[in-house]
Structure 1
Amino acid sequence: MESELFQKLGISLGLGLLVGLQRQHEKSELAGIRTFPLFTLFGSVAALLSQSIGGWVLAAGLLSVATLVAIANILKRKNPHFDPGLTTEAAALLMFVVGAYVILGDGTVAIAIGATTAVLLHLKETLHRIVERIGEKDLKAIMQFVVILLIILPILPNETYGPYDVLNPHNIWLMVVLIVGISLLGYFAYKIFGGRAGTILGGILGGLISSTATTVSYARRSKDSNTSTSLAATVIFIATFVSVARIITEVAVVAPDTASVVLPPLATLLILMLIVGLITYLFSKKVHDTMPEQGNPAQFKAALVFGAVYALVILATAFAKDQLGNKGLFIVAIISGLTDVDAITLSTARLMNIGNLDMQNGWKVILVAALSNLVFKGVLVGVLGNSKVFARVGVLFGIVLIGGLLVLWLWPAEFNLSAFLS
C-alpha cells in the first residue's frame, strides 16, 4: 500500500517537474521548476486528506492556489514588461487538480493530462503560427465540423427506422463524421504544406480529400501544355492508391473483428498498387506542380449529400440481399462504386459487423466497388484529359484492374490471417 502511494506521489512530482521545466525555460515570472511540483504535490496531499477529513479540503486547497496565483499576478503587474497572458495561471490551477486526480482517479489519465499540458505550453509559437495561417474559410471548416460532430451527432436518435429496419440516424451520421474527418485531415495538411506540395504529397492529399475531385482536376489540367503528362498520371494514380488505403482504414474502424478475413485481399490489391506506383514514379520525370485549391470538405451540403447517399446504399443493399441474395449486393457495389465507394464500403462493413453478411462475400463486395470506382475514374480521365494521360492512366489502372479480378477469382476460400499466422 505504501509503495503504491509513493509511486503516485512520484508521478505527481514528475508531472509538476515536467510542466515547471517548460515554464522555467520560458522564464515565467509566476512559477517555474520548483513551484509547479509544489502545486501538484499540494493537490495530491489535499486529495489524501480529503479521503479521511472530507472533500472540503480539496476545495480549500484549490481556493488557496487560486488566491496565491491572483496575488502573484497582481504583484507581477508592477513589472514594466508585464505580460497580461493567463497561461501560467491556468496551468497552475490545472496541475493542482492533476495532482489530486493522481490520488483519487486514474493515474494514466492524469499522466496524459499533465503531459498534454506540457506539450501545449511548449508549442506556443507553433500554435500561434498555425492560427495566423488559418483564414476565414478554414475557420468556417473547423466550426462546421464541430457542428457535425458535437451538435448534430449527439441529438440524433440511436434506433432503426424505415423499410428492413436498417436506417439508424445516429449510425448514418457517425459515418458522415468519419468521412468528413478524414477529408478535413487532408484539407488542413494541404493548408500546412501549401499548394506546392510535390507530386507524391499532392497525390496523398488529393486522395485524403477526394480522389475523384483530384482525378477530374488533373485530367482537365493535362490539356494545358504547362502541366506534365507524367505528373498528372502519377498524381491521379497516387490519389487512387490513397483512396484504397482509405477503404481499408474504414473497414478496420467500423468492423475491426472482420480484419483478419477482410483486410488481406484488400491489402494485396494495395500492395500491387504500391509496386506499380513506385515503378511509375521512378521512371517518370521529377516534375512538380502547384496543387489546385481545395474546397472545404466540411460543408453541410456535402455532409448531407453523403449521409443521403449512404442511407440509400444501406436501403439498396438490404433490398438487394432480400430479393436477389448475395448476387444483388455485387450489383449495388458496381453502381455505388461508380460515384462513392465510401458509402458501399461502410454499409458493407456494417453488415459484416452485425453478422448480416458473411465476411467472404463482404470483402468481395468492397473490392468490386473499388474496381468499379477505378473504371469510373479511368473514364473521367478519357473524357476530360488528353490522349497521352489517358493512355498512361489506362495502362496503370488496367494492371490494377486485372490484379483485382485475379484476387476475386483466385483468393483461397475461408482464408483467415489469424489462423494462418498461428
Structure 2
Amino acid sequence: MNLEVARHFLVALFIGALVGVEREQRRSSEPERVLGGVRTHILLALVGATSAWLARELASAWVFAIALAAVSAVVVAGYVRRGRDPADQAPGLTSEIAAMAVVLLGAMVVVGDAALGVALAVAVSAVLAFKQPLHVLVAKIGTEDLLAAIKLMCMSFIVLPLLPRTPVDPWNAVNLYQLWLLVILTSALSLVGYLAMRWLGSSRGTAITGLAGGLVSSTATTLSFARASRSAEASPAGNREATGILLSWLVMFLRVLVLVAVVNPSLLQAVWIPLTAMGAATGAFALAHYLLCTRTAAADAGSLAVRNPFQLGEALRFGLLFAVILLLIRLAQIHLPQSGFYVVSALAGSADVDAITLSLAHDGHTQVQTAQAATALCVALLSNTVVKTATVLLYGRGRVRHHTLVAAGTVMLVGVATLLMLA
C-alpha cells in the first residue's frame, strides 16, 4: 500500500466528515434546507478522491468529470424529489453515493492499488453500518464545540503556515512558528478535556469531573471544588471535594509529562522521576479520599461549571504570555544564569504551568540547559501547587482545606526530596 496515497485519502475523508458534521447539525434544525448528513459527505469525499486518483492513473480527466457530473445529477434529483413531495424534507443520498463509491473502488482495485481499495471499501462498509452510532455522536457535539474545533483548525491550517520560521527578536528567543505550534498543542489538549467534560457530564461523579477538569485547567477545577465546599450540599468530611481537587492535580502532572515528551524528549529523561514521584503521591491521596467518600455518600460532584477553554482571545493572550516568558527566560540565562532563571520559573509557574513547561522544553536542549530546565520545571510545578493550595485555603470551607494542605505538603516534600537526590 502506498502510504502517501493513503494519507491523501484519509485527508479527503476527514474533509468530508468535517463538513458532514456541520450539515448533520444543521439538518436537525433546518431539514428542508440541508441535503445529506455526515455519512453522505464522507462518501462524497471518497467519490471525489477515488475518481481523481483514477483520472491520474489512467491519464484521463474524463473519469473525474464523469464522477462529478454523476454526483451533480444525484444531488439535483434529490432536490427535484423533495420539490415534488413536500413531506420528504430531508432526502437521503447515502445509498446512491455509496453505489458510486463501490463502482470507483472496484475500478481502483483493478487499475492500481488493490490493498488501499479494499481498505477504503471496509471504510465504506463501516460508514454504512454504523449509522445510528454516528448520528448519536454528532448529536452530542454542540454548536460551541464545533465552532471551537473549527477555530483550532483555522489556527493549524491557515494561520500556522503563514508564520515565519526564524526568530524575530535580537536575542533569538521568539520563533513565531514554533510559538504558535505550541499554542495549538496546548489548546488542543484543553479542548479534548473540555469535550470529555461535556460528553461524559460532571453529574457522573467527582472522579470524572476531576480528571476531565484537570485536562481543561487544574487551577480552575481546584477553584470550582473549593467553592463547592461552601455549599449546603458539600461533603461534611471534605473527602469528595478533596478527591476532585487531587485528581485534577494528578492529571496536571501527567499533562506536563506529555507536553515535555512531545516537545523535548531529552528533557523528559531528566524530569520523569520527580514528576512521577509527585504524581504518585498525589494519586495515592486522591485514591484514599475517593475510597473514604464512597463509603459515606455517593460521589456526585454536582454541576461544576467549566466553560469552553478554547477562546480565540485567550489563545492570543496565552501566546503573548508564552512569548514574554520565552524572552524573560532567555534574558535570565544571559544576565542571571542561576538564581534569576529559577525566580522567573517560579513566577511563571504560579500563573500558568503549560506556558512555562513549553518554554523550558523548547529552550532546554543542551546538557547544561537540560539539567537547569528540569530543576526550573519542578520549581514551577511546586510554585503552582502552592498557589492552588492557597486557593483552597482562601475559598474552601471545612475539612477540604486540611486534606488539601496535608496532600500538598507531602507532594512538595516528595518533589524537593527527589530533586535533592538527583542533584
Give the TM-score category using the shorter length: 0.7 to 0.9
Q: What is the CA-CA distance between 1:259 and the residue it aligns to?
A: 3.5
Change (3 A) 1:50 1:147: closer
Q: How many residue pairs are counted as aligned between the two chains?
A: 369
Partner of 1:307: 319
Partner of 2:5: none
What RMSD over aligned residues (CA atoms) do the two structures have, in Å?
3.7
Q: What is the CA-CA distance between 1:230 and the residue it aligns to?
A: 1.4
Partner of 1:55: 59
Among residues 333, 336, 339, which one is paired with 2:351 in the alignment? 339
Q: For 1:170-215, what per-residue CA distance to the aligned partner results, in whole angstroms no more than 9, with x for missing partners?
A: 2111111111111111111111112303111110111011111111
Structure 2: how far apart are the matches of 1:118 and 1:318?
54
Q: What is the CA-CA distance between 1:151 and the residue it aligns to?
A: 2.8
Output the amino acid matched with 2:312. F
**After superposition, where does 1:6-405 map in structure 2 within 5 Å?**
54-56=58-60, 59-60=62-63, 63=66, 67=70, 84-94=91-101, 114-228=121-235, 229-284=238-293, 285=296, 286-353=298-365, 355=366, 358-405=369-416
Q: What is the CA-CA distance between 1:77 and the residue it aligns to?
A: 6.2
For the residue of structure 2 that corresponds to 1:84, the secondary structure is coil
Structure 1: how far apart are the matches of 2:105 and 2:233?
58
Range moving further from structure 2, 262-271 or 222-231? 262-271
Contact kept, 8 Å, 2:203 with 2:302, in 1: the verdict is: yes
Q: What is the CA-CA distance between 1:388 and the residue it aligns to?
A: 2.0
Range moving further from structure 2, 225-234 or 313-322? 225-234
For the residue of structure 1 that corresponds to 2:217, the secondary structure is helix
Structure 2: how far apart are the matches of 1:242 and 1:393?
16
For the residue of structure 2 that corresponds to 1:360, the secondary structure is helix
TM-score under structure 2 length normalisation:
0.75
Change (3 A) 1:232 1:93: same
Change (3 A) 1:108 1:224: farther
Contact kept, 8 Å, 1:337 with 1:373, in 2: the verdict is: yes
Structure 1: how far apart are the matches of 2:342 and 2:148?
35
Q: What is the CA-CA distance between 1:408 and the residue it aligns to?
A: 0.6
Q: What is the CA-CA distance between 1:264 and the residue it aligns to?
A: 3.5
For the residue of structure 1 that corresponds to 2:306, the secondary structure is coil
Partner of 1:31: none
Q: For 1:266-325, what per-residue CA distance to the aligned partner results, in whole angstroms no more than 9, with x for missing partners?
A: 223222322232223223344312131221211112111111111111011101111111
Change (3 A) 1:102 1:182: farther
Q: What is the CA-CA distance between 1:66 and the residue it aligns to?
A: 6.3
Contact kept, 8 Å, 2:385 with 2:408, in 1: the verdict is: yes
Partner of 1:29: none
Q: For 1:371-391, what per-residue CA distance to the aligned partner results, in whole angstroms no more than 9, with x for missing partners?
A: 111111001111111142111
Contact kept, 8 Å, 2:250 with 2:282, in 1: the verdict is: yes
| Percent of residue pairs bearing the same amino acid type | 31
Structure 2: how far apart are the matches of 1:260 and 1:104?
49
Structure 1: how far apart are the matches of 2:410 and 2:261?
26
Contact kept, 8 Å, 2:165 with 2:177, in 1: the verdict is: yes
For the residue of structure 2 that corresponds to 1:164, the secondary structure is coil
Contact kept, 8 Å, 1:161 with 1:167, in 2: the verdict is: yes
For the residue of structure 1 that corresponds to 2:331, the secondary structure is helix
Among residues 404, 407, 417, which one is paired with 2:418 in the alignment? 407
Structure 2: how far apart are the matches of 1:59 and 1:292?
58
Change (3 A) 1:289 1:59: same
Q: What is the CA-CA distance between 1:395 and the residue it aligns to?
A: 0.6
Contact kept, 8 Å, 1:214 with 1:239, in 2: the verdict is: yes
Structure 2: how far apart are the matches of 1:157 and 1:223?
50
Range moving further from structure 2, 109-118 or 278-287? 109-118
Change (3 A) 1:154 1:279: same
Range moving further from structure 2, 135-144 or 163-172? 135-144
Q: What is the CA-CA distance between 1:262 and the residue it aligns to?
A: 3.5
Change (3 A) 1:88 1:156: farther
Structure 1: how far apart are the matches of 2:193 and 2:74?
46
Contact kept, 8 Å, 1:163 with 1:315, in 2: the verdict is: no
Consecutive unaligned residues of structure 1, counting only runs of 5 or more, are: 6-35, 414-422
Q: What is the CA-CA distance between 1:253 and the residue it aligns to?
A: 1.2
Output the amino acid matched with 1:162. D
Structure 2: how far apart are the matches of 1:301 and 1:152?
15
Contact kept, 8 Å, 1:69 with 1:89, in 2: the verdict is: no
For the residue of structure 2 that corresponds to 1:165, the secondary structure is coil
For the residue of structure 1 that corresponds to 2:202, the secondary structure is coil
Structure 1: how far apart are the matches of 2:324 and 2:284?
36
Contact kept, 8 Å, 1:265 with 1:363, in 2: the verdict is: no
Q: What is the CA-CA distance between 1:397 and the residue it aligns to?
A: 1.0
Output the amino acid matched with 2:391. L
Output the amino acid matched with 1:192. W
Q: What is the CA-CA distance between 1:336 and the residue it aligns to?
A: 0.7
Output the amino acid matched with 1:382. L
For the residue of structure 1 that corresponds to 2:230, the secondary structure is coil
